[in-house]
Chains A and B, each alone.
Chain A
Amino acid sequence: MNLEYIGLKEISGPLVVIDGVKDASFEEMVEIHVGKELRLGRIIQIEGETCVVQVFEGTQGISLANTRTRLKGKPLKMPLSKEILGRILDGMGRPVDGLGEIFPEKYMDINGEPINPVKREYPRNFIQTGISSIDGLMTLIRGQKLPVFSGNGLPHNQLAVQIVRQAKIQDANEENFAIVFAAMGVKYDVAEYFKESFRKGGVLDRVVMFLNLANDPVVERIVTPRCALTAAEYLAYEKDMHVLVILTDMTSYAEALREISSSKGEIPSRKGYPGYLYSDLASIYERAGIIKGGKGSVTQIPILTMPNDDITHPIPDLTGYITEGQIVLDKDLALRGVYPPVNVLPSLSRLMKDGIGEGYTREDHPEVANQLFASYAKVQEVRALASVIGEEELSELDKKYMNFGRAFEEMFITQNFHEERDITQTLDLAWMLLGHLPKEELDRISPKTLEKYYVSPENEGRQV
């Protein structure tokens, strides 16, 4: 049936309401002709013959009378083929680079389908990012979803670029490695920065870019990460590629969701976000992983800016509950000139326990990581004390912790944007820093490992 409906019943924000619609199905796509212009929309609620439609291109210029609407009879599907590599697409997956249409090999529903847990392969393979703080303390694992929690004005974009440039995935090569980059509500310069960096890194032809910029329609932002992940799943599960997905900025995405929810008149829960924010974010983040018997993988690095640097804000909070850890960037460190300003204490990688140690990185890695966390936590206590009684008054041991803390931040966390350290260098560096502390303080490390690796600064013959 290909009926055309003339006019609308109501327009509210990005939503329009059409009356008298027959045979509409939930989440079906519609074409809305406004004069000569064609816009796309999606049915998000059906009530008898009344449909609520969200319009991807926005509702400006639409009146109750000037539209003709046609149902397309199918949900939003994305045309896909291996040609998408190296292409720049808009937030809905339509080419914007002027290189012509994509000749599709397959159409896939952008909502994807949940992976059956029985068919998932538990991620175990370590991805070396060449960044000490990440590799050593919150190791990225292939098939993981590890977000970067950042704040405004922090170098999360540089960090993402550095990860992409340096990431070494075991048994991945030029041929089967791809990057899917989705920008949601980011500024033009930011998108440009990523594009430029990909070009400089010589990986531009391995990248699929989805761009929904800050001034692009809000509704389109809702489907951008879904289109990107559909492309990633296609490359990973149909074309056996290892795909690294970067989603930035998830905060803009969640805000778009809130905007639409409020236009629909839904009951808000925390901070005005809809009650289904958790489920909705999960439907994005859970689309990472490895399928049993498959050769490809989808690894996600979503980036989000914490509003007001508040980690308990609903967006980072719910994200943290879904993702497998988080890399938290910290303003204080950034102000002190530490790059990358990774605040290691609240940062975590849930999957690292099974992807490090003997056979993966090095046998001492788990213990060293634990010890660094514990000792650095102790440094924070000592610093709090020093701020009250002054550093001079500290005990000898506490002074050693102060030194360790400084060295840890200046040498281990701090790293040049172009510096790449392999895992052995990272671990050796960690041992050198632990040498600042007396052996007895290293209670997270077994005597056997201590015996093999511990170096005290005296033996080293130099003061750090």
Chain B
Amino acid sequence: MSETSHGIIYGINGPVIKVRGNYPFKMYEMVLVGNEKLIGEVIRVLETETIVQVYENTTGLKAGETVTPTGKPLTIKLGPGIIGNIFDGIERPLTRIAEETGAFIKRGSSMDNLDTDKLWDVRIKVKQGDTVKPGDIIAEVDETDSVVHRIMVPPYVEGEVIEALNDGSYNINQVIVKVKEGKTIHSLTLVQDWPVRQPRPHKERKHLDIPLITGQRVIDTMFPIAKGGTAAIPGGFGTGKTLTQHQFAKWSNADIIVYVGCGERGNEITEVLEDFPNLIDPRNGKPLMNRTVLIANTSNMPVAAREASIYTGITIAEYYRDMGYDVAIMADSTSRWAEALREISGRLEEMPAEEGFPAYLPSRLSEFYERAGRVENLNGTFGSVTIIGAVSPQGGDFSEPVTQNTKRFIRCFWALDKSLAYTRHYPAINWTSSYSEYIEDLTDWYKENIKPDFMDKRTRLSRILQEETKLLDIVKLIGSDILPEEQKLVIEISRVIRQGFLQQNAYNEQDTYVPLQKQYLMMDTILKLYDRLQKLIPLGIPVSVFRNAGVFEDVIRMKYTIRNDDLGAFDTLNENLNKVLDEIEADYKDAERKND
């Protein structure tokens, strides 16, 4: 039989369809399914049939309809117009879909991923006769007032510029530069295509020694993450995963934020859409939306597109990294993505491994997290992709497969804790089960840029908290009254650390973002108080005296009372504390003298 130009639908089971006919489909090729031309992807090729996952609802599809090949893998468009926009899992623009089909997402809406009509002010950076190689910047566009979009030579093109337009207003499909490579001539526009499942190339990976500053004390001070690092936030429902992710998206000092809402709630995406345009980037005073890309595939949107959304997000992140930006990608939640894998695997009747998840779950997770990193790009600039993945463990149990396998590929683990969330201690990051493997790599940076003893102070805080954990086990059995005063002090000061330092109020104007300098001074104040009290206790002054004098409360409230731009107030606070403590000490000595 001769080859046909397309395949024929044979079987349909939810999002998975079987295709027959003798067209030789390629693995991971993008195909158009049925009369409505729904987008699908080849996920298995057998001798007699091809299996395709469809990115849209398959209701109404019939056996016998055709499946048309496109010849290329699932590819997205990379070019100006991405920032500030919101896309679905396969980079279809939701705003324009809404304009065309109204409030509900209809099937088979095919439209350009990026706006092709909009004219961009393009500054051409090359001229005729220049030699260009992959990654070289040929033009610049002010994509938003926060982001300069650098148009680069695609990774597969190099040669001599034989034609270059002048600066001017062009749409994204305008050929701006022609490059001659041997006998072929490449016409370069403002966009390039890239298959989402393939990492974009770079020159070499760099050591991770610069922190990603988030303004969240429990992260920056206790469990910091490096630019180009990987982190997981696992937590059962209601522990504040999404809130924590939102805080990162709002305040971290990345240049570009890619937020992937993967199988989560529609209202949460709406919240981001409403909030971000009104929030101001603390670094440049511009709206946060001007550096943000949203990928939204809510839980009721097709499951196959949910699987793809993670790859779409990371590809966009890598593209901006190639321009020399620090990019942070938040994936909320990777568990939904793993479940999408499971769902499709189940429909393919593959042999399941743990809890019904496919055996290739760990390799898919590792492929994804390995796309993070700080690199020297092909064009010599430096950029990074930091991945922060939320994990929603079943039943809040961290021993389930997704959490366990994720743990193998990440180096920062921010464990959210149900009991902290119950007491409304947010962010509910548990300080005993969380860890960061970046601390050592980042110590030098903190030393040079903040204070030489930053990390020493951090270690002390963490040691006090450890001690408290042990003491609390005793308190649970016998109550706190019979502890010796030194240990009571440990418990009190730990309370100060927990409530005054670790707890952070996302809804308070001062506390939602805290600069590192203030984080240091807060730590410093707590430790100074502790040191002083440790000296006073042996004089026989009970802890309750200090508690009644309100010194602990004063310190706890410093996060609200001291403004981020008025760090001098810490001196006043410390002076006042000392004054109170001096008085107590003097009173006590007086009383002692009288007794003598």
Which residues 269-325 of A have a CB within 8 angstroms of B? Answer: 269-270, 274-276, 278-279, 282-283, 285-287, 289, 291-292, 294, 311-314, 317, 320-322, 324-325
Contacts of A374 in B (CB 8 A): 423-425
Contacts of B452 in A (CB 8 A): none
Give CA–CA (A259, B62) in the complex, Å: 26
Decide if A27 is an interface residue (CB 8 Å cutoff).
yes
Give CA–CA (A393, B481) in the complex, Å: 9
Give chain B nearest CB distance to A352 CB in angstroms.
Answer: 12
Give chain A nearest CB distance to B109 CB in angstroms.
Answer: 10
Decide if B560 is an interface residue (CB 8 Å cutoff).
yes
Contacts of B322 in A (CB 8 A): none
Interface residues as binary, A353-375 with B (CB distance below 8 Å gives 1, 0 otherwise): 11000000000001000100110
The residue in A26, A274, A285, A395 that gathers the most chain B C-beta atoms within 10 A of its C-beta is A26
Give CA–CA (A388, B419) in the complex, Å: 21
- CB–CB A443/B553 < 8 A: yes
Which residues 298-320 of B have a CB within 8 angstroms of A? Answer: 298-301, 303
Give chain A nearest CB distance to B56 CB in angstroms.
Answer: 10
Contacts of A366 in B (CB 8 A): 507
Decide if A385 is an interface residue (CB 8 Å cutoff).
yes
Decide if B14 is an interface residue (CB 8 Å cutoff).
yes
Give chain B nearest CB distance to A67 CB in angstroms.
Answer: 21
Give CA–CA (A29, B482) in the complex, Å: 73
Interface residues as binary, B474-504 with A (CB distance below 8 Å gives 1, 0 otherwise): 0111111100000000000000000100000
- CB–CB A111/B352 < 8 A: no
- CB–CB B103/A278 < 8 A: no
The residue in B12, B62, B261 that gathers the most chain A C-beta atoms within 10 A of its C-beta is B12
Contacts of B301 in A (CB 8 A): 114
- CB–CB B238/A325 < 8 A: yes
Chain B residues bordering chain A, tally (CB within 8 A): 84
Interface residues as binary, B55-74 with A (CB distance below 8 Å gives 1, 0 otherwise): 00111111110000000000
Name the segment of A41-49, A92-100, A330-338 touching the other chain: A41-49
- CB–CB B300/A377 < 8 A: no
Give chain B nearest CB distance to A342 CB in angstroms.
Answer: 14
The residue in A45, A276, A294, A348 that gathers the most chain B C-beta atoms within 10 A of its C-beta is A276
- CB–CB B10/A47 < 8 A: yes
Q: Which of A116, A143, A324 contacts B104 (CB 8 A)?
A: A116
Decide if B209 is an interface residue (CB 8 Å cutoff).
no
Contacts of B339 in A (CB 8 A): 275, 278-279
Contacts of A28 in B (CB 8 A): 60
Decide if B182 is an interface residue (CB 8 Å cutoff).
no
Q: Name B356's closest neighbour in chain A (CB-CB).
A: A269
Give CA–CA (A109, B271) in the complex, Å: 28
Interface residues as binary, B332-373 with A (CB distance below 8 Å gives 1, 0 otherwise): 000010011011011101101001110000000000000000
Q: Name A284's closest neighbour in chain B (CB-CB).
A: B300
By size class, the interface of chain A is: 35 or more
Using known A-B contacts A27-B59, A385-B476, determine if residue A118 contacts B86 with beta carbons closer than 8 Å: yes
Give chain B nearest CB distance to A174 CB in angstroms.
Answer: 27
Contacts of A274 in B (CB 8 A): 346
Q: Which of A27, A118, A377 contacts B423 (CB 8 A)?
A: A377
Decide if A267 is an interface residue (CB 8 Å cutoff).
yes
Contacts of A388 in B (CB 8 A): 476-478
- CB–CB B274/A282 < 8 A: no
Using known A-B contacts A274-B346, A377-B423, determine if residue A446 contacts B560 with beta carbons closer than 8 Å: yes
Give CA–CA (A279, B478) in the complex, Å: 48
Using known A-B contacts A26-B59, A321-B237, determine if residue A289 contacts B424 with beta carbons closer than 8 Å: no
Give CA–CA (A275, B350) in the complex, Å: 12
Which residues 391-440 of B have a CB within 8 angstroms of A? Answer: 392, 394-397, 418-419, 422-425
Contacts of B105 in A (CB 8 A): 113-116
- CB–CB A322/B265 < 8 A: yes
Q: How many A-B residue pairs have CB under 8 A?
A: 222
Q: Which of A118, A269, A345, A395 contacts B98 (CB 8 A)?
A: A118
Contacts of B237 in A (CB 8 A): 317, 320-321, 326
Give CA–CA (A237, B340) in the complex, Å: 30
Decide if A25 is an interface residue (CB 8 Å cutoff).
yes
Q: Which of B63, B274, B392, B479 contacts A394 (CB 8 A)?
A: B479
Which residues 102-126 of A have a CB within 8 angstroms of B? Answer: 109, 111-123
- CB–CB B104/A114 < 8 A: yes
Using known A-B contacts A269-B356, A346-B422, A440-B550, determine if residue A283 contacts B342 with beta carbons closer than 8 Å: no
Give CA–CA (A279, B306) in the complex, Å: 10
Contacts of A285 in B (CB 8 A): 299
Decide if A266 is an interface residue (CB 8 Å cutoff).
yes
Decide if A351 is an interface residue (CB 8 Å cutoff).
yes
Give CA–CA (A321, B332) in the complex, Å: 12
Contacts of A394 in B (CB 8 A): 479
Contacts of A385 in B (CB 8 A): 475-476, 479
Interface residues of A (CB under 8 A from B): 23-28, 45-49, 75, 109, 111-123, 143-144, 237, 266-270, 274-276, 278-279, 282-283, 285-287, 289, 291-292, 294, 311-314, 317, 320-322, 324-326, 345-346, 348, 350-351, 353-354, 366, 370, 373-374, 377-378, 381, 384-385, 388-389, 393-395, 398, 440, 443-444, 446-447
Q: Could you pull out 20 A-B pairs where Cβ atoms are within 8 angstroms?
A: A47-B11, A49-B63, A109-B59, A113-B105, A115-B105, A116-B94, A117-B270, A117-B273, A119-B98, A275-B346, A278-B339, A279-B263, A282-B299, A289-B266, A314-B394, A320-B236, A322-B265, A350-B238, A370-B424, A395-B480
Q: Which 10 A-B pairs have the closest CB atoms?
A: A269-B356, A312-B395, A282-B299, A320-B237, A286-B300, A113-B104, A377-B423, A117-B269, A275-B346, A119-B103
Apart from A26-B62, A267-B346, A388-B477, what 9 extra A-B contacts exist at CB < 8 Å? A48-B11, A115-B103, A116-B105, A122-B270, A279-B340, A287-B300, A350-B238, A384-B476, A446-B560
